[in-house]
Chain A
Amino acid sequence: MVRKELILMVRYPVNFIASFGQIFLIVAILSLGGRTFSANLDNPPPIGAPPTSGNPSGVVIYGFILFMFLSDTLWTIGYNVRHEQVQGTLEQLYLSPASKFASLVSRVANILLWTGLLTLAASGLMVLMIGRLPVENPWLGLYLLVMSLAGTFGIGFAFAALTLRIRETAQTMANLLQFVFLILCANFFPFSALPPVLLRISRLIPLSYSVDAFRSTLMNYPPGYPELAPISVEIVIVTLFGIGMPFLGYYLYRRAEDHARRSGSLSSF
């Protein structure tokens, strides 16, 4: 599979370059947009300077990392099932003796590799643009990242289940979910920026705690962080999310598959 990805990178160079270029441009647009609120734009701090209290580099970059994985997961795992349903290969998959779980897992590995690379590149660019990135408590940060990713993949499996049911509205739903999570999980800004109504909804989403715990830990808990709950509580929530969500997502996926097989909609447009 890695070889396949390498082959694709070489044979589709525009795709390869565009992925990185696109990330750079999105980051640049949001970063420059954020900088318009900076008090000393005419005398900006030198590149690489430590963040000031108004410089949200850690908040933005770490939230961005999790957003990248969530977005790719929704599309690569979730929407891809719909894509296979439309082009008729989902039925083929069922006719083969290959494990359905293995198929999902192979997509997970794909994301880890490709999105991981993109995320690293994008983070590097963001550091250049908006300031030094704090990296404290790396092992706990890594643990929280792994748990968050596991939970995110579980969301992907659950979304795949949804796409089998809702079919053609799956693309719309993927877009919607992507942006809903973007706001409610406050990937690009502190939770304090959210209106109270939205903040209440955020507290109901485990992924919010992932974002909050992950970036707070790596920023070494500046005043006010984490924002949603004490860190010990957030670690427990993230752990439960990381362990439970993949199983729940996979269970929902298999149920949706069985339903599709009963209703004959495996190949249905």
Chain B
Amino acid sequence: MTGTVRVENLSKTYQVRQRKGLFKSFRSTVEALKGVTLEVRPGEIFGLLGPNGAGKTTLIKILTTLLLPSSGEAWVNGFHVQRQENQVRASVGCMLMGERGLYWKLTGRENLEYFGALYHLSPQDRRQRALEILERIQLGEIADRTVETYSSGQKMKLAFGKALINDAPLLVLDEPTNTLDVPSASELRAVVRDLHAQGKTIIYTTHIMSEAETLCDRVAIIDHGQLLALGSIEELKDSLRRDQVTRIEGVIPSRAVAAVKRLPTVQQATRTSADSGDLLTIVTSDGHEFLPQIIEALTQTGATIKKIAPEEVTLEDVFIAKTGRTLAEDTRER
């Protein structure tokens, strides 16, 4: 493997204490990552998808040296994440904490210049770089106000700008459009495409499936610490045949969903809300041959079917097939 980022058999376990009542507690082991192996190629936008608790953040933190792995190895820009930590840090620009990674009592400009100092930029270079970034992210007008006076979206933009301060070849962006309004999110995605066009490699996590589909060259799906799928958008979609995915709209009670799940050849059945009621997305292993049985199971358990629509496989379908739930559903449950 010769990627910008190389991960080989990376694992991370935590010892956590669980408490019961006033005095009782016991230790348990949590496996946040289990033998993950992947590669991020130079110059690509690499999407990292997974539900909460999947291990995405653990993986990112190991790659950015915030966390030490339990076993396995990883290299970032050719530097080993444990043996060459400072080189790794110098070669990566990160937006991990959103608006929390800023000093609220400093102005936007002061924040950027301070972080520029931490990346060993000379005073003149820091000032110049801060100026360029503020113009790029369109915060020039409020650059000299303290961050505490910024809106959430403005703070996120500044946090994104902070990731650009060292002009690193690799950017790690954790949900960068979170809390941004539609125009601002669109602007930020345009900047990401720009940076991509300049040859930067970008690791991008998002909860917005459409964002992943439009931005990412390749996507990795992680759940329960394991890499479940990795490939380009088209490859992942092709891994599911069109006739493996069926969408049924109507009024679908929980017992109906359970009845469908019990059917043989049904791999996943996930219910979400739609404009006209419920939307049941079903992934089967043998196409639509089993559709009559699915319909019978639904109607016998009180479901009302309004529309059946076998559609193009989307990235969300792949996600559901691999993890058993939707990304939006998982976000709502937070």
Contacts and interface: CB of A to CB of B under 8 A. Distances in A.
Indicate yes or no for A touching B, C-beta below 8 A. yes
A6 B148 CA distance: 36
Interface string B142-171: 000000100000000000000000000000
A10 interface: yes
Nearest to A3: B22
A262 interface: no
A173 B148 CA distance: 20
Contacts of A11: 19
B104 A7 contact: no
Interface string A230-269: 0000000000000000000000000000000000000001
A10 B21 CA distance: 10
B148 A10 contact: no
A250 B264 CA distance: 65
A269 B22 contact: no
Nearest to B148: A269
Interface string B85-124: 0000000000000000000100000000000000000000
Interface in A1-43: 6-7, 10-11
A7 B148 contact: no
Contacts of A269: 104, 148
B170 to A, nearest CB: 33
B129 to A, nearest CB: 28
Contacts of B22: 6-7, 10
B23 interface: yes
Nearest to B17: A11
A212 B22 CA distance: 42
Nearest to B22: A10
Contacts of A7: 22
Contacts of B19: 11
Interface in B6-23: 19, 22-23
A176 B142 CA distance: 34
A223 B332 CA distance: 71
Nearest to B25: A11
A6 B19 CA distance: 14
A7 B24 CA distance: 11
B23 A10 contact: yes
Interface string B38-78: 00000000000000000000000000000000000000000
A10 B104 CA distance: 34
B77 to A, nearest CB: 37
A52 B210 CA distance: 83
A10 B23 CA distance: 7
B154 to A, nearest CB: 14
A11 B24 CA distance: 11
A231 to B, nearest CB: 46
B59 to A, nearest CB: 29
Nearest to B104: A269
Contacts of A10: 22-23
A11 B19 CA distance: 9
Contacts of B148: 269
B21 to A, nearest CB: 9
A269 B22 CA distance: 35
Contacts of B104: 269
Nearest to A9: B22
A269 B155 CA distance: 14
A269 B148 CA distance: 7
A216 to B, nearest CB: 43
Interface string B237-267: 0000000000000000000000000000000
A128 B175 CA distance: 60
A172 to B, nearest CB: 14
B227 to A, nearest CB: 36
B319 to A, nearest CB: 31
A12 B19 CA distance: 13
A269 B104 CA distance: 10
B184 to A, nearest CB: 21
Interface string B20-42: 00110000000000000000000
A6 B23 CA distance: 10
Nearest to A268: B148
B105 to A, nearest CB: 9
Contacts of B23: 10
A216 B205 CA distance: 68
A247 B118 CA distance: 53
A245 B310 CA distance: 71
Nearest to A10: B22
A179 to B, nearest CB: 24
A7 B22 CA distance: 6
Nearest to A6: B22
A264 to B, nearest CB: 13
B103 to A, nearest CB: 13
A246 B325 CA distance: 53
B153 to A, nearest CB: 16
A237 to B, nearest CB: 43
B91 to A, nearest CB: 35
A92 to B, nearest CB: 16
B190 to A, nearest CB: 30
Nearest to B21: A7
Nearest to B147: A269
A195 B22 CA distance: 52
7 contacts: A6-B22, A7-B22, A10-B22, A10-B23, A11-B19, A269-B104, A269-B148
Interface of A: 6-7, 10-11, 269
Interface of B: 19, 22-23, 104, 148
> When A and B form their complex, which 3 residue pairs have the shortest distance between CB atoms, in order from nearest?
A269-B148, A10-B22, A7-B22
